[in-house]
């Protein structure tokens, strides 16, 4: 008989081999082989492949292992979404039927029917799920969550190891799905800021395992070209291969007398082929401070010129250059300190990482950098090479784009507040912001890429009213929104709530906003300058003052956008929206919350908070 | 008293400012809305025009304009707020409140103006209401400190001829009160007063003297007690010269039609001296002031603002016409002017005992600027004095400060404070510097073409060197500098004067009378510091060698032929 993929449990490759092998076998050889195969089957009880295969064959089209895969993402800035999309394209390429969806769009009552579930979820702030993951997260953790004994799943968790609750949302999903009866396709992978390699590993594992389980039903290994075509349209540059953008403008937006500094950067995108939309971000790979790098090298007694590897491919650079450009040295993470402790004989350090001292360790990490670590726990007898291998790759800094590419082709504008403070007896400087404020000259180049944020986008209909709440640098994307609306002649009403400390010196892009108010691009603008009045006022106070009209706008279908500080502002604004819905809409608190949740699901309530 | 009807003489269509005033509903306009507009620290031009009537107007730090524009920030808008205090007299308690206001809401200084008013700079829009309320709570006002109305009434502040001064000051206050705008807008906008919308009230009830369009331009009144002419009585629209015999006030000589401002390149504009037209008794003086203001209201040019000052109205119709019109409106005739004599227009520094036995200390305040400087805590020192002084604080027309009506025991304590804070009566400065006057100019004044207040001290250093070389350090010479030709520091009455033309460039004037009785005349146009010094040096040498006994520099330059004497503004450009 001639083996075929369709009439056998074998893959194309196996079919070909078998077709070549079987006709050449003598009868004696055939009997021997048959006996051998039977023997290993009975002696190895864990090997279930053969019975499974027989099932597959016997049940024909009603396959036990589904070819349908659901990929859900919970994403704040778009990283998880981007990875979920990549994963989906690969799955489709392998012939899977993929349902790709944000968690907020996913109908949770269909979860019971899902057989293969892949989750990509980031963690936000202190262990909280991203906005668009919250409803699904709450559903899954509620009593309404169904038993999921037929479910196969795997979780990719994104996070930042400098936070205490590193990758917490992913961990929660992973644990909960197991509790509900699900089986892991492959183990969860936690990714730090430099997530590329670990995410790729997870994807490979998941694909291999999924493919392995259902290899038998595969029609062929042929890749569909859909994913590849999309990639071809995009820029050749990316997060892993950043573009060198020339600095066209770099000015301080804060007037004299202000105690803040906010840089307005204009970068040239000429030649990058980057496309961006309002709401997207730019990632910048900054350069560490030379002073900090030199102190570190001196303290450790290393040589600046010693070659160290800067990536897994083994590319090498002089230590000084690697510390300047390739590694993060301004943040301490728990894994880093634990690894470093293994290279040290310092008793205090050993004590710090010892079990039971988690709180002390956490307190120690707060506001300290690598120089603190090496100073506080000397002596070190560690080679640069070994030490550097513990460090995280320099993460890119994400900034909301403050310009519209429609209005300014080949340019992108950013709004970067300088971070400087004192901690543990030393002045600390934000790596990227300080580079921009103090060292970045016109004509120099910055390594950057465009980071798409599909969760912060203007309404598709240009006449939809929008309410924007963006104090401080949170106003950046709204400058992009308004430039875009001005350029496209959109007719929708727009309302901006903005605030900072002093009107005289801290009103970012004041002339732009004044012009838009005058021209009607911005229908209303309400401002709160907290230090200009005896009692501090913030954007949420202005919203409450205007609650009647604000509620009218919501009822007219306005989209609400919040950008800026998460810890205080976004929280206060969210509560204020609930209050307004209660007071003006006559709703109970529950109904008001539900109203906002529904807005979120309809993408009428979008946040870009940090 | 107000049974007049408005006779508006027009040379053309009314200017845009006339239109703004007409539409303003007695100075209300859209000021409330402008104060509430949160996205700008500014106000529109229309509202800014009206703000002047309320004693304030918008300025911006001109040094920062370009820089801020690049930063996508609007100009550093701020408001000047001026207090109208007739004769520049404040109680110690009022001084303390103004000191507090200055420290809380302004750039931190109190400025004494050349019209004896207090001026604050750098008040931001959202602090305006609080500032003006503080001023009102201290029983002072900003209403009519600027705008097309009667401005702060000047009156010689040093009451060493105590009884006469007291009486003159009393009449001055009454004139000032009488000519105050009567609109309720001020209370509504700044003091949250009840909105009185009385549609039945006609113009005569709302604003009996000014009417709904107010005056064509500002109007200035100054009252002086000879022999001092520190108010520069001939620079006023209406000047009143107190006439007294044996320490008793008899009445006032009336002088009309003076004024300082001019426009470069337009010889139809010029500084002018007021002319004495007669005498009235104290009881008649309010009526005279009111009718004079009303004549200007009816006959002043409302089409072209630069021709709208009272001096042009008088020069156009003739002084005889005015006397006639005034007497018709009064229903009686002025008496013949009485004799008087002025000896100077500067200040007397140091302690002077008044005829009432109280002491008056004149402190020298450079450019009228009261602030704490490194090594010179003037503002703090004055605050400490105000805390113990039972007398008052008096602002001089030369931007100095008189601590007035001090009792002998307090005098000792104040002397201690003066010593403690190192305050000066000016004796350590040269006579030239003590007699110098300048306007604010850069960076806040929108009219300035060149520096004045910030630059004059530097120029004086250099002129003093020359004067010292020729032994004239103790010779009082009036020197004045302004950043533009509008005349805030009364430059046309400086024996030496500089009016700004462009950064670093000035027109130089010479030959005014030492006691303010004669205008100066242009000597050189558009010159810089180097040339100024080159011109002055031989002049001073010659003056030191050839001056006659008691001859002032302004008289000398005329006798020596540097410039011709100018007795009337009509000859200023000839």
Contacts of A235 (CB under 8 A, 6+ apart): A243, A272, A273, A274, A275, A450
Contacts of A329 (CB under 8 A, 6+ apart): A288, A292, A293, A296, A323, A369, A370, A371, A391
Cα separation, A495 vs A481, in Å, equals 11
The least confident of A33-47, A65-79, A89-103, B78-92 is A33-47
Percent of chain A surpassing pLDDT 90 = 68
Place of tokens 């570190």: A296
- Taking only residues 100 to 129 of chain B, the set having a beta carbon closer than 8 angstroms to any beta carbon of chain A reads 124, 126
Cα separation, A392 vs B59, in Å, equals 54
Spans of chain B below 70 pLDDT: 1-10, 196-200
| Burial per residue of A47-86, b for 16 or more beta-carbon CB atoms within 10 angstroms, e otherwise | eeeeebeeebeeeeeeeebbbebbbbbbbbbbbbbbbbbb
Query: Pick from B391, B421, B451: which residue ends a domain?
Result: B421
Cα separation, B155 vs B115, in Å, equals 9
Based on the fold, state whether residues B371 and B459 are members of the same structural domain. no
Active site residue B111: no
Q: Is residue B412 part of a domain?
A: yes
**Cβ neighbours of B76 in A, within 8 Å:** 255, 504
Based on the fold, state whether residues B412 and B443 are members of the same structural domain. no
Instruction: Supply the pLDDT for residue A509.
Output: 98
**Mean pLDDT score, A49-68:** 46
Instruction: Supply the pLDDT for residue A15.
Output: 74
* CATH superfamily membership of A61-216+227-233: Flavodoxin domain (3.40.50.360)
Cα separation, A289 vs A232, in Å, equals 37
**pLDDT tens digits along A180-230:** 999 999 999 999 888 888 899 999 999 988 887 765 444 433 333 333 333
Q: Is the Cβ–Cβ distance between A432 and A420 less than 8 Å?
A: no
pLDDT classification of A61: cutoffs 50, 70, 90: very low
**In residues, how long is chain A?**
610
Closest CA to B557 of B538, B529, B532: B538
- Domain A290-388 maps to which CATH number in 1.20.120.530, 1.20.990.10, 1.10.390.10, 3.40.605.10? 1.20.990.10
Distances (CA, A) of A153 to A120, A175, A206, A209: 11, 11, 9, 11
Cα separation, B492 vs B486, in Å, equals 10
B481–chain A nearest CA distance, Å: 30
Pairing of strands A189-191, A152-158: parallel
Q: Is the Cβ–Cβ distance between A369 and A447 less than 8 Å?
A: no
**Alpha helix stretches (DSSP H) within A271-395:** 290-300, 319-325, 334-342, 347-353, 358-365, 370-376, 384-388
**Alpha helix stretches (DSSP H) within A66-195:** 79-93, 134-140, 168-179
Residue A41 clears pLDDT 60, i.e. is over it: no
Query: Pick from B377, B400, B421: which residue ends a domain?
Result: B421
3-state secondary structure at position B333: coil
**Cβ neighbours of B71 in A, within 8 Å:** 251-255
3-state secondary structure at position A191: strand
Based on the fold, state whether residues B403 and B476 are members of the same structural domain. no
Q: Is residue B454 part of a domain?
A: yes
B53–chain A nearest CA distance, Å: 25
Strands of the sheet containing B118-123, edge to edge, are B56-60, B77-83, B118-123, B110-112, B369-370
Reported as type and span, the H/E element at residue B326 is helix B319-330
3-state SS, A355-378, equals: CCCHHHHHHHHCCCCHHHHHHHCC
Cα separation, B93 vs B431, in Å, equals 32
CA atoms within 13 A on the CB side of B465: 7
3-state secondary structure at position A298: helix
A522–chain B nearest CA distance, Å: 12
* φ/ψ (deg, to 5) at A318: -60, 145
The fold of the A466-609 domain, in CATH, is Rossmann fold (3.40.50)
Cα separation, B97 vs B87, in Å, equals 19
Active site residue B411: no
Instruction: Supply the pLDDT for residue B222.
Output: 98
Interface test with A, best of B35, B36, B38, B66 (most A CBs within 10 A): B38
Instruction: Supply the pLDDT for residue A569.
Output: 96
Nearest to A512 among B40, B64, B72 (CB): B72
User: Given an 8 Å threshold on Cβ–Cβ distance, is A254 in contact with B126?
Assistant: no
Q: How many helices (H) and strands (E) does chain B have?
A: 18, 22
Chain A contact present for B41, CB below 8 A: yes
Chain A contact present for B37, CB below 8 A: no
**pLDDT tens digits along A459-501:** 999 999 999 999 999 999 999 999 999 999 999 999 999 999 9
Cα separation, A161 vs A212, in Å, equals 33
Chain A contact present for B76, CB below 8 A: yes
Nearest to B72 among A503, A504, A509 (CB): A509
Based on the fold, state whether residues B445 and B529 are members of the same structural domain. yes
**pLDDT tens digits along A554-585:** 999 999 999 999 989 999 999 999 999 999 99
pLDDT classification of A58: cutoffs 50, 70, 90: very low
Active site residue B484: yes
Contacts of A498 (CB under 8 A, 6+ apart): A470, A471, A475, A478, A507, A513, A525, A526, A527, A528, A539
Tell me the Cα Rg of chain A. Answer: 28
Cα separation, A306 vs A324, in Å, equals 14
Task: Report, in this order, helix, strand and coil percent for chain B, each rounded to 5.
Answer: 35, 20, 45
Count of CB contacts below 8 A, A vs B? Answer: 52
Interface test with B, best of A260, A262, A503 (most B CBs within 10 A): A503
Percent of chain A surpassing pLDDT 70 = 90
Q: For residues B373 and A1, which has the higher predicted lDDT (pLDDT)? A: B373
Q: Is the Cβ–Cβ distance between A385 and A309 less than 8 Å?
A: yes
**pTM to 2 decimal places:** 0.81
CA angle B58, B59, B64 (to 5 degrees): 145
Residue of B nearest to A255 (CA): B68
Q: Is the Cβ–Cβ distance between B233 and B337 less than 8 Å?
A: no
Chain A contact present for B67, CB below 8 A: yes
A511–chain B nearest CA distance, Å: 5
User: Given an 8 Å threshold on Cβ–Cβ distance, is A255 in contact with B71?
Assistant: yes
3-state secondary structure at position A162: coil
* CATH superfamily membership of A243-276+401-451: Translation factors (2.40.30.10)
What is the domain count for chain B?
2
Domain that holds residue B477: 431-571
**Cβ neighbours of A251 in B, within 8 Å:** 70-71
Based on the fold, state whether residues B449 and B385 are members of the same structural domain. no
Task: Indicate if A466-609 has the same CATH topology as A290-388.
Answer: no
List the structure tokens of A594. Answer: 């539900």
Residue of A nearest to B76 (CA): A504
Based on the fold, state whether residues B463 and B537 are members of the same structural domain. yes
Instruction: Supply the pLDDT for residue A39.
Output: 59
Contacts of B294 (CB under 8 A, 6+ apart): B4, B209, B329
Closest CA to A191 of A335, A345, A61: A335
- B173 prior amide bond cis, ω within 30: no
Based on the fold, state whether residues B465 and B398 are members of the same structural domain. no
Active site residue B280: no
Based on the fold, state whether residues B403 and B453 are members of the same structural domain. no
How many CB atoms are closer than 10 A to CB A6? 7
3-state secondary structure at position A225: coil
Instruction: Supply the pLDDT for residue B291.
Output: 98
Residue of B nearest to A517 (CA): B39
Based on the fold, state whether residues B393 and B467 are members of the same structural domain. no
A446–chain B nearest CA distance, Å: 22
Based on the fold, state whether residues B462 and B374 are members of the same structural domain. no
Query: Pick from B421, B449, B479: which residue ends a domain?
Result: B421
B11, with CB counted inside 10 A (0-12, 13-18, 19+), is: exposed
Residue B252 per-residue DSSP state = E
Catalytic residue among B84, B151, B217, B434: B151
Pairing of strands A243-252, A445-451: antiparallel
Cα separation, A373 vs A386, in Å, equals 16
Instruction: Supply the pLDDT for residue B194.
Output: 73
> Domain coordinates of chain A in residue numbers?
1-47, 61-216+227-233, 243-276+401-451, 290-388, 466-609
Catalytic residue among B52, B125, B220, B311: B220
3-state SS, A250-275, equals: EEECCCCCCCCCEEEEEEECCCCCCC
Closest CA to B223 of B268, B288, B267, B141: B288
List the structure tokens of A322. Answer: 């690697």
Based on the fold, state whether residues B532 and B475 are members of the same structural domain. yes
Interface test with B, best of A257, A510, A519, A538 (most B CBs within 10 A): A510
Chain A contact present for B66, CB below 8 A: no
Residue A84 clears pLDDT 80, i.e. is over it: yes
Based on the fold, state whether residues B494 and B536 are members of the same structural domain. yes
Q: Is the Cβ–Cβ distance between B453 and B468 less than 8 Å?
A: no
Residue A93 clears pLDDT 90, i.e. is over it: no
């Amino acid at each position: 008989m001639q083996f075929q993929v369709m009439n056998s449990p074998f893959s194309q490759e196996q079919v070909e081999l078998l077709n070549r092998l079987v006709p050449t076998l003598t009868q004696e050889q055939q009997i021997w082989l048959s006996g051998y195969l039977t023997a290993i089957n009975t002696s190895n009880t864990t090997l279930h492949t053969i019975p499974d295969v027989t099932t597959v064959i016997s049940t024909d089209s009603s396959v036990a292992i589904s070819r349908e895969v659901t990929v859900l993402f919970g994403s704040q800035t778009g990283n998880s979404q981007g990875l979920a999309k990549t994963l989906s394209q690969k799955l489709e390429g392998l012939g899977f039927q993929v349902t790709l969806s944000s968690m907020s769009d996913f109908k949770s009552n269909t979860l019971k029917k899902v057989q293969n579930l892949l989750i990509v979820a980031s963690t936000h702030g202190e262990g909280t799920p991203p906005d668009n993951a919250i409803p699904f997260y709450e559903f899954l953790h509620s009593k309404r969550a169904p038993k999921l004994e037929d479910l196969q799943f795997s979780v990719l968790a994104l996070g930042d190891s400098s936070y205490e609750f590193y990758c917490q949302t992913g961990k929660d999903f992973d644990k909960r799905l197991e509790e509900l009866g699900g089986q892991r396709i492959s183990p969860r992978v936690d990714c730090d800021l430099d997530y590329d390699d670990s995410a790729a590993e997870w994807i490979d594992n998941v694909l291999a395992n999924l493919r392995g389980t259902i290899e038998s039903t595969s029609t062929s290994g042929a890749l569909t070209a859909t994913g590849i075509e999309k990639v071809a349209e995009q820029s050749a540059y990316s997060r892993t291969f950043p573009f060198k953008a020339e600095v066209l403008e770099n000015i301080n937006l804060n007037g004299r007398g202000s105690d803040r500094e906010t840089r307005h950067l204009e970068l040239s995108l000429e030649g990058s082929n980057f496309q961006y939309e309002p709401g997207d971000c730019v990632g910048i790979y900054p350069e560490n401070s030379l002073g900090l790098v030199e102190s570190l090298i001196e303290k450790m007694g290393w040589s600046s010129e010693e070659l160290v590897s800067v990536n897994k491919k083994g590319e090498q650079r002089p230590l000084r250059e690697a510390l300047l450009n390739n590694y993060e040295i301004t943040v301490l993470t728990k894994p880093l300190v634990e690894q470093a402790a293994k290279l040290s004989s310092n008793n205090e350090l050993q004590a710090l990482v010892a079990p039971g001292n988690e709180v002390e360790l956490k307190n120690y990490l707060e506001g300290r950098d690598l120089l603190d670590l090496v100073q506080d726990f000397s002596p070190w007898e560690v080679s640069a090479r070994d030490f550097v291998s513990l460090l995280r790759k320099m993460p890119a800094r994400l900034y909301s784009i403050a310009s519209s590419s429609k209005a300014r082709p080949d340019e992108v504008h950013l709004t970067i507040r300088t971070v400087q403070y004192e901690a543990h007896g030393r002045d600390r400087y934000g790596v990227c912001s300080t580079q921009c404020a103090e060292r970045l000259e016109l004509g120099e180049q910055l390594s950057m890429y465009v980071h798409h944020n599909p969760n912060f986008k203007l309404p598709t209909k240009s006449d939809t009213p929008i309410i924007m709440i963006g104090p401080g640098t949170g106003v950046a994307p709204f400058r992009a929104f308004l430039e875009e609306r001005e350029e496209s002649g959109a007719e929708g009403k727009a309302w901006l709530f903005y605030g900072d400390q002093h009107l005289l010196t801290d009103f970012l892009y004041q002339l732009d906003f004044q012009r838009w108010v005058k021209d009607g691009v911005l229908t209303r603008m309400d401002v709160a300058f907290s230090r200009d009045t005896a009692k501090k006022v913030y954007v949420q106070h202005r919203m409450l003052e205007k609650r009647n009209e604000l509620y009218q706008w919501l009822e007219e279908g306005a989209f609400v956008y919040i950008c800026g500080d998460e810890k205080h502002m976004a929280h206060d604004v969210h509560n204020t929206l609930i209050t307004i819905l209660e007071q003006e809409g006559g709703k109970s608190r529950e109904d008001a919350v539900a109203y906002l949740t529904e807005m979120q699901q309809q993408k009428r309530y979008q946040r870009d908070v940090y | 008293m107000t049974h007049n009807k408005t006779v508006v003489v027009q040379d053309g269509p009314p200017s845009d400012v006339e239109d703004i005033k007409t539409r303003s509903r007695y100075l209300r306009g859209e000021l409330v809305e402008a104060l509430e507009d949160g996205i700008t620290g500014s106000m529109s031009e229309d509202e800014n025009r009206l703000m002047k009537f309320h004693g304030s107007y918008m300025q911006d730090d001109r040094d920062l304009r370009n820089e801020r524009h690049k930063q996508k920030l609007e100009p550093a808008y701020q408001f000047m707020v001026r207090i109208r205090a007739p004769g520049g007299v404040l109680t110690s308690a009022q001084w303390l409140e103004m000191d507090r206001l200055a420290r809380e809401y302004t750039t931190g200084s109190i400025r004494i103006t050349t019209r004896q008013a207090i001026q604050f700079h750098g008040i931001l829009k959202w602090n305006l209401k609080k500032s003006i309320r503080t001023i009102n709570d201290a029983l002072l006002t900003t209403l009519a400190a600027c705008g097309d109305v009667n401005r702060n009434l000047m009156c010689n502040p040093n009451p060493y001829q105590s009884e006469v001064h007291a009486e003159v000051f009393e009449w001055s206050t009454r004139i000032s009160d009488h000519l105050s705008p009567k609109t309720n807008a001020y209370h509504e906008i700044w003091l949250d007063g009840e909105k009185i919308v009385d549609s039945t009230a006609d113009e005569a009830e709302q604003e009996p003297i000014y009417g709904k369009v107010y005056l064509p331009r500002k109007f200035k009144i100054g009252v002086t007690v000879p022999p001092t002419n520190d108010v520069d009585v001939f620079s006023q629209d209406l000047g009143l010269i107190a006439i007294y015999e044996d320490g008793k006030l008899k009445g006032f000589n009336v002088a009309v039609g003076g004024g300082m401002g001019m426009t470069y390149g337009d010889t139809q504009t010029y500084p002018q001296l007021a002319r004495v037209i007669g005498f009235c008794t104290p009881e008649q003086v309010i009526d005279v002031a009111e009718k004079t203001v009303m004549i200007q209201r009816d006959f002043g040019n409302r089409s072209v603002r630069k021709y709208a000052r009272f001096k042009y109205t008088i020069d156009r119709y003739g002084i005889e016409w005015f006397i006639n019109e005034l007497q018709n409106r009064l229903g009686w005739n002025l008496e013949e002017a009485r004799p008087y004599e002025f000896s100077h227009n500067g200040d007397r520094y140091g302690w002077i005992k008044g005829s009432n036995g109280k002491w008056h200390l004149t402190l020298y305040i450079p450019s009228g600027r009261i602030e704490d400087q490194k090594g010179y805590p003037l503002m703090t020192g004055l605050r400490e004095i105000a805390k113990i002084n039972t007398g008052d604080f008096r602002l001089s027309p030369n931007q100095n400060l008189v601590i007035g009506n001090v009792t002998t025991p307090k005098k000792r304590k104040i002397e201690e404070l003066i010593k403690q804070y190192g305050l000066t009566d000016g004796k350590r400065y040269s006579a030239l510097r003590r007699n110098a006057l300048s306007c604010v100019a850069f960076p806040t004044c929108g009219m300035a073409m060149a520096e004045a207040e910030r630059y004059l001290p530097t120029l004086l250093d250099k002129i003093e060197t020359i004067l010292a070389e020729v032994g004239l350090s103790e010779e009082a010479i009036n020197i004045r500098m302004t950043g533009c030709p509008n005349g805030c520091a009364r430059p046309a009455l400086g024996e030496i004067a500089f009016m700004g033309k462009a950064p670093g460039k000035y027109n130089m004037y010479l030959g005014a009378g030492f006691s303010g009785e004669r205008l100066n005349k242009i000597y050189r146009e558009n010159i810089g510091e180097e040339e100024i010094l080159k011109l002055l040096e031989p002049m001073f040498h010659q003056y030191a060698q050839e001056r006659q006994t008691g001859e002032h520099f302004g008289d000398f330059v005329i006798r020596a032929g540097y410039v011709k004497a100018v007795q009337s503004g009509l000859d200023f450009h000839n």
